[in-house]
A and B are shown apart, each in its own frame.
Chain A
Amino acid sequence: MDITTNETRPQAAAGRAREGLIVRAGRKVKEFFLGIAHGSLATKLSCLFMGSGQMMRGQYIKGALYLLIEVLFVLYMVFFGGRYLGFLFSGDLGTRLGTETWDEVTQSFVYTQGDNSFLILLYGVVSIIVLCLFITVWCMNVSGNIRNDKICNIAGIAPPQSYTDALGRIVPGVASASLSENSICVQGGRIKLTLAGDVGGVLEIGGERHAVEEIEAGVTRFGALLVTAVETTEEGTMYELYRDENVFSREYLQYPVYLYTKDGALAAAAFLRECGRVSTFREDCKQYVNKKFYVPLLVVPLIGLLVFTVMPLIFMILIAFTNYDYEHTPPGALFDWVGFANFAKIFSIGGGGSNFLLVFLRVLAWTFIWAIFATFTNYFFGMILALMINKKGIKLKMLWRTMFVIAIAVPQFVTLLLMQKILDADGILNVILGLTGDNKILWLGDSSNWAIIPRVTIIVVNMWIGIPYTILMCSGILMNIPPEMYEAARLDGANPFQIFRNIVLPYMLHVTAPYLITQFVGNINNFNVIWLLSGGGPVDNINYGGGSKAQATDLLVTWLYRLTTDVNPQYNLASVIGIIIFVISAALSLITFNRSKANKNEEDYQ
């Protein structure tokens, strides 16, 4: 039985939701291709000439738009993209170098344009994205036609609980037991009635009656419906019902279908409903400010994202698998695919006189130490300060808050450059401390003892920058802690420290966990603080060795930046580091995002 009654339908929906993603996608794909195979001429034609199917059904503007897209795509591929796609899939990023030859006739050097690996890769990526977009539009075009097919044929069945037949009798719903051997199912927009045994008598659709023998002989017309008997098996005869495509109706049609046995008893009943007619362009447009409003809302931002984020990212990820560095820089030289060689280099010990693995691990370790300290010092000290400012009985709250919050308002690069100058060997801090000559402390430049002084300095300066943010954020949340909780704790004789440990801290950690992880990831990628304060320095022989260019306080991000902006850039290694940074931050963020309450219960607050 393919017919589901009203009661079982929600369960069926739940079952579908439980189905795996792959199963669901597989079914979608199968439906899509079945739709083409069983589809009308319009659908089949539109697979080749986009929009033709829509035009055949009167959707001229929509069809013309689809056709225009196809024409533009073909032109793009023929005159531009195809060449680069070819290069990309040939396995070589260009083979010819530009050459200069002496031309005797004009007495001058003639420059022959060679291949440019960089442009081949870039435009190759662009073309792949264009191709993907086109395939998406093509699928939209075809599935639009399949939808139209279903609408133009008989689209659905909605079995009511009961309905009145032609003689005025109340007939129970289709699913009732006496009719259970007979079934009705929908396939590819057509409806098949399977009738058990030799029930053949009279078929009634929409009040019109025809003898079954007549139907079995050929096509019988019931109004705008055409009915044929397609197959007779032991189980019964299958009837195919479809809409006469030559009859267009503006009305929604509903057909009760009855089959009577020879002696006049009801053998099967169904209810056919035509879902509608092909929508007009106006109606389509109206959808876009209503049910489909998300399409116009999302399309421009997503295009921006595609051009300025996705495309460059794919490009840079691909770079990680090439040898694009200062020795292979177009147009003077070509670069080529090298597989995982760059990853191997980063994780290699000793190979080629470089200790990249050691350097990498040191940078990674410092990145994590920095992120942990930077996050938690800011968080705890900020929270304690916020508690102090908001404590009952403390006056001049506004003044205290402003003193700290002013620091946020000054742009970060200003404060950081200023701090860099303050902490300079000749800076004001050493002057205030009365340190001169050899006694000067190189706050950001002392590379002795694992560069411990610069590292601590950076973390302290970061507190200066970050704590005001925490104060700002915490003040709001702290006020939300129910005062009864404090009161109860105080009555139980808890001291302020116990109150902080047992009430405030758990509450804050619970509420701000997502913020904390975001901050942590932000600190792993905190380019500004490191770059503007120490520039990643001081140079430290262990790190710098082997052409790795890493310096003592370099995070992964500043290392990446140095590799790309160096006099001898190594884009390939930088991309590998970028991928590693991504893996780390993505893992951390996805865990939080999926666990955070905000994501799961997004409708809780509505």
Chain B
Amino acid sequence: MMKDTSVKEKLFGQKVRSGIVNGIIYVILAVLGILWVLPIVYLLYTAFRVTPSTGIIYDVIPPDLELGFGNFVRLFNETMFPTWLGNTVLVAVCSCALTTLFILMVSYAFSRMRFKLRKPLMNVMLVLGMFPGFMSMIAVYFILKAMGLTNSLFALILVYSGGAALSYYICKGFFDTLPRSLEEAAILDGANQWTIFWRVTIPLAKPIIVYTVLTSFISPWCDFIFVNTIINDATKYTVALGLYRLINAEKSSFSENFTVFCAGATIVGGLITALFLSMQKYYVEGVSSGAVK
């Protein structure tokens, strides 16, 4: 009997202890989670704050606070945001299609085929990927100029997908894990490499394709440095550059545009968040299957 109660007490003690530990963890998670969400809440709050319209406020909730959709109306009427949005969608769709295709092709060649130049090429591409991209930006600009392509969205698509092959690594890692026996079976059935690529490997590579599509679709929404160099015409801006220019004309001083910027950022952020959350499962799969072994 004595022994039984002591065991019970011990178990009870353990429960209490783990309850306390869990309690602490809940508190930490809650505090940090709020910290992580707060800037986003601030973004939304500013986007819907019609007055005061500057970024400078002297109270967290100012006395003349007025919420509404005014900033969104201004964004669409007073800035070229709709054009920028259209531009970005166009560039993102085209460059994402090309990039994904390129990455799949390069990864398949490096993962499934064996040829003399394979290792040297892989190493050269690894080294190439290590040069900081904008070191060569001015040269890219002049090459595009020589081709008569500056100030065009087509140039952006070319630049974004031109370097795509360099990020083959994650996708190749994924292809490496696919079993070879499937291919061998297909070869016995008389398939050539073309058929294997389209009919065997691509259908199996769904997670990594979604991952690649997602990352390459998102990158034009976020890049403003290349756009900044290549494009001077405000009607050809993408959202990133447009919004950047909106508030960065006068650095670190708030302007009327700040709330409008937040409205634009909310739209862009909302779009990407929706996309991201719907694809989260594949994204995680892609990251953990290819990047890490």
Binding stretch for chain A, among B4-12, B75-83, B100-108? B100-108
Contact between chains at A388 and B28 (CB < 8 Å): yes
Interface Cβ pair total, 8 Å cutoff: 272
CB closest chain-B residue, reference A556: B132
- Confirm or deny: A309 has a beta carbon within 8 angstroms of a beta carbon on chain B: yes
Contact between chains at B42 and A428 (CB < 8 Å): yes
How far is it, in angstroms, between the C-alpha of A72 and the C-alpha of B237 when the chains are bound? 38
How far is it, in angstroms, between the C-alpha of A477 and the C-alpha of B284 when the chains are bound? 11
Residues of A with C-beta under 8 A to B280: 405
Given known contacts A393-B22, A409-B276, A575 and B135 CB-to-CB distance under 8 angstroms: yes
Q: 0/1 per residue, A268-303, Cβ < 8 Å to B?
A: 000000000000000000100111111001101110
Binding stretch for chain B, among A4-12, A312-320, A335-343? A312-320
Residues of A with C-beta under 8 A to B292: 473, 477, 511-512, 514-515
Contact between chains at A414 and B269 (CB < 8 Å): yes
How far is it, in angstroms, between the C-alpha of A107 and the C-alpha of B183 when the chains are bound? 77
Given known contacts A308-B158, A393-B22, A406-B40, A294 and B115 CB-to-CB distance under 8 angstroms: yes
Residues of A with C-beta under 8 A to B159: 308
Q: 0/1 per residue, A462-485, Cβ < 8 Å to B?
A: 001000100011011100000000
- Confirm or deny: A404 has a beta carbon within 8 angstroms of a beta carbon on chain B: yes
How far is it, in angstroms, between the C-alpha of A578 and the C-alpha of B60 when the chains are bound? 44
Given known contacts A403-B33, A409-B277, A586-B130, A394 and B22 CB-to-CB distance under 8 angstroms: yes
Binding stretch for chain B, among A97-105, A190-198, A368-376, A419-427? A419-427
Residues of A with C-beta under 8 A to B269: 409-411, 414
- Confirm or deny: B249 has a beta carbon within 8 angstroms of a beta carbon on chain A: no
- Confirm or deny: B188 has a beta carbon within 8 angstroms of a beta carbon on chain A: no
Contact between chains at A418 and B139 (CB < 8 Å): no
- Confirm or deny: A389 has a beta carbon within 8 angstroms of a beta carbon on chain B: yes
Interface of B, secondary structure class, is helix
- Confirm or deny: B126 has a beta carbon within 8 angstroms of a beta carbon on chain A: yes
Residues of B with C-beta under 8 A to A405: 280
Contact between chains at B192 and A290 (CB < 8 Å): yes
Q: 0/1 per residue, B111-135, Cβ < 8 Å to A?
A: 1010100100101011110111011
CB closest chain-A residue, reference B241: A413
> Interface residue tally of chain B, by bracket?
35 or more
Contact between chains at A560 and B134 (CB < 8 Å): yes
CB closest chain-A residue, reference B162: A308
Contact between chains at B132 and A557 (CB < 8 Å): yes
Contact between chains at A417 and B105 (CB < 8 Å): no
Residues of B with C-beta under 8 A to A294: 109, 113, 115, 118
Contact between chains at B162 and A560 (CB < 8 Å): no
- Confirm or deny: B2 has a beta carbon within 8 angstroms of a beta carbon on chain A: no
How far is it, in angstroms, between the C-alpha of A394 and the C-alpha of B165 when the chains are bound? 42
CB closest chain-A residue, reference B58: A431
How far is it, in angstroms, between the C-alpha of A300 and the C-alpha of B109 when the chains are bound? 13
How far is it, in angstroms, between the C-alpha of A413 and the C-alpha of B241 when the chains are bound? 10
Contact between chains at A581 and B135 (CB < 8 Å): yes
Closest Cβ–Cβ distance, residue A549 to chain B (whole Å): 16
Residues of B with C-beta under 8 A to A436: 58
Closest Cβ–Cβ distance, residue B68 to chain A (whole Å): 20
How far is it, in angstroms, between the C-alpha of A300 and the C-alpha of B161 when the chains are bound? 11
How far is it, in angstroms, between the C-alpha of A424 and the C-alpha of B135 when the chains are bound? 30
Contact between chains at A606 and B163 (CB < 8 Å): no
Residues of A with C-beta under 8 A to B56: 426
Task: Supply 27 A–B pairs (Cβ within 8 Å), ascending by A.
Answer: A122-B142, A290-B193, A307-B162, A312-B143, A313-B128, A388-B25, A388-B29, A394-B22, A400-B29, A404-B32, A409-B275, A411-B222, A411-B268, A412-B222, A413-B243, A421-B247, A426-B55, A436-B58, A472-B287, A475-B284, A527-B225, A561-B134, A578-B131, A578-B132, A590-B126, A590-B127, A605-B176
